[in-house]
């Protein structure tokens, strides 16, 4: 099962298989020493510069962009290590035949070295690292198969039916920019401003009039109207769409934050989707359950782990 927060065999196949590395290119001794520098320790287990460089390489991140995504990529490496250790502790295994097949596909796509032999080290890999990266999503899939019940699947389907059957909601927003979403004070100021606007709307101020006066989005010219939304449509941030689908026509949300700023959301219309049975969308249901459980499990693992950022 593919998951946004774990390395997948498909990602490795596509990225490594299409990446170009100069034949015969080797690291100088000083570079090798730098790559072995420990950046983070997770319960004593090191994550090194070499691990980070490998991730940059497989994701084909330009050198100029690497400082901007460094923290995010380190978090991915931390999550990978935490989840791999957890699944091993649960004694979740992957068929060696299945894993061998994935490894063979990768090796078939890697170009040979100048000497005409395949060398994983040229691509930042050892056999062990490659097998672990390919094994993790398969282990997570097997873990889910073991613990997710039919009742959980049915319950998720009922709770998220509107997101799965093509239901559309029409929404309006009042948007307030936040210069730095990592600054709690700035976020709180935006939420307080929207809370006061919401109180004024409850007291009789028209939402569209409030949007034209206070919103900092181009949609203010339409009274905040952003049109019809579908889940996964990409028209609005997922955080906004999620809130919108939880509202009934005429309801206004509490102020909330998305990756772009702070919002108030008003749902003005709702159009039901097609009638679907669980089996029609079982794969989507399992993906949704996987996403939720993966995020929750990582939160638990991070809370218990000792994470030392020694090379920051």
CATH class of 9-148+300-308: mainly alpha
What is the token pair recorded at 115? Answer: 């000497």
Q: What is the predicted pLDDT for the residue at 40?
A: 95
Its pTM stands at 0.66
Quick one: which of 298, 300, 309, 303 has its CA closest to 83? Answer: 298
Q: What is the predicted pLDDT for the residue at 239?
A: 92
Question: Residue 3 pLDDT more than 60?
Answer: no
Taking phi first (over 0 means left), then psi (-120 to 50 degrees means alpha), and beta for anything else, what does residue 308 get? Answer: beta
Quick one: which of 189, 192, 173, 171 has its CA closest to 181? Answer: 189
Q: What is the predicted pLDDT for the residue at 123?
A: 64
What is the token pair recorded at 300? Answer: 């638990």
Tell me, rounded to whole angstroms, the distance of Cα 286 from its chain centroid.
16
Q: Quick check: helix, strand or coil at residue 104? A: helix
Q: What is the largest CA-CA distance in the chain?
A: 78
Architecture of the domain delimited by 166-271: Roll (3.10)
Q: What is the predicted pLDDT for the residue at 151?
A: 96
The string of pLDDT tens digits covering residues 219-228 is 999 999 999 9
The string of pLDDT tens digits covering residues 284-303 is 899 999 999 999 999 999 99
- Residue 41 — φ and ψ, nearest 5°? -120, 130
Q: What is the predicted pLDDT for the residue at 119?
A: 59
What is d(CA 63, CA 214) in angstroms, rounded to the nearest whole number? 40
Question: Residue 305 pLDDT more than 90?
Answer: yes
Q: What is the predicted pLDDT for the residue at 150?
A: 95
Where is 99: in which H helix or E strand? helix 96-109
What is the token pair recorded at 293? Answer: 């459980």
**Residue range(s) in the chain whose domain bears CATH number 1.10.4030:** 9-148+300-308
The string of pLDDT tens digits covering residues 147-182 is 999 999 999 998 888 778 888 999 999 999 999 998
**Residue range(s) in the chain whose domain bears CATH number 3.10.50.40:** 166-271
Confidence of residue 127 (pLDDT cuts 50, 70, 90): confident
Q: How many Cα neighbours within 13 Å face the side chain of 182?
A: 0
**The sheet that has 307-308: what strands, in order across it?**
45-48, 38-42, 307-308
- In this structure, are residues 80 and 45 in contact, taking their beta carbons and an 8 Å threshold? no
- Residue 107 — φ and ψ, nearest 5°? -65, -30
Q: What is the predicted pLDDT for the residue at 34?
A: 52
Q: What is the predicted pLDDT for the residue at 234?
A: 74
Q: What is the predicted pLDDT for the residue at 68?
A: 92
The string of pLDDT tens digits covering residues 238-293 is 899 989 998 999 999 999 999 999 999 999 999 988 778 889 889 989 999 999 99
Dihedral of CA atoms 229, 230, 236, 241 in degrees, nearest 10, equals 90
Question: Residue 98 pLDDT more than 80?
Answer: yes
């Amino acid at each position: 099962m593919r998951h946004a927060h774990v390395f997948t065999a498909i990602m490795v196949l596509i990225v490594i298989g299409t990446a170009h590395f100069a034949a015969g290119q080797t690291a100088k001794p000083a570079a090798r020493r730098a790559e072995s520098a420990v950046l983070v320790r997770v319960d004593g287990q090191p994550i090194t510069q070499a691990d980070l460089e490998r991730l940059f390489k497989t994701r084909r991140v330009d050198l100029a962009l690497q400082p901007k995504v460094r923290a995010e990529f380190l978090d991915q490496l931390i999550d990978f290590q935490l989840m791999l250790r957890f699944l091993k502790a649960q004694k979740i295994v992957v068929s060696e035949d299945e894993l061998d097949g994935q490894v063979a596909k990768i090796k078939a796509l890697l170009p040979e070295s100048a000497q005409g032999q395949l060398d994983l080290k040229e691509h930042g890999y050892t056999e062990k690292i490659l097998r672990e990266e390919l094994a993790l999503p398969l282990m997570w899939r097997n873990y889910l198969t073991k613990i997710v019940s039919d009742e959980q699947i049915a319950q998720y389907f009922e709770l998220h039916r509107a997101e799965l059957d093509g239901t559309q909601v029409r929404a309006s927003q009042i948007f307030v920019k936040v210069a730095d979403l990592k600054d709690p004070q700035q976020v709180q100021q935006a939420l307080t401003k929207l809370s006061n606007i919401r109180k004024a709307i409850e007291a009789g101020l028209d939402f569209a009039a409030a949007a034209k006066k206070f919103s900092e989005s181009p949609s203010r010219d339409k009274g905040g109207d952003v049109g019809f939304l579908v889940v996964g449509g990409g028209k609005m941030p997922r955080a906004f769409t999620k809130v919108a689908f939880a509202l009934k026509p005429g309801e206004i949300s509490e102020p909330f934050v998305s990756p772009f700023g702070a919002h108030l959301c008003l749902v003005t219309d709702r159009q039901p989707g097609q009638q679907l049975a669980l089996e029609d969308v079982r794969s989507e249901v399992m993906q949704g359950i996987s996403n939720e459980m993966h995020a929750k499990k990582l939160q638990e693992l991070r809370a218990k782990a000792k994470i030392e950022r020694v090379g920051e």
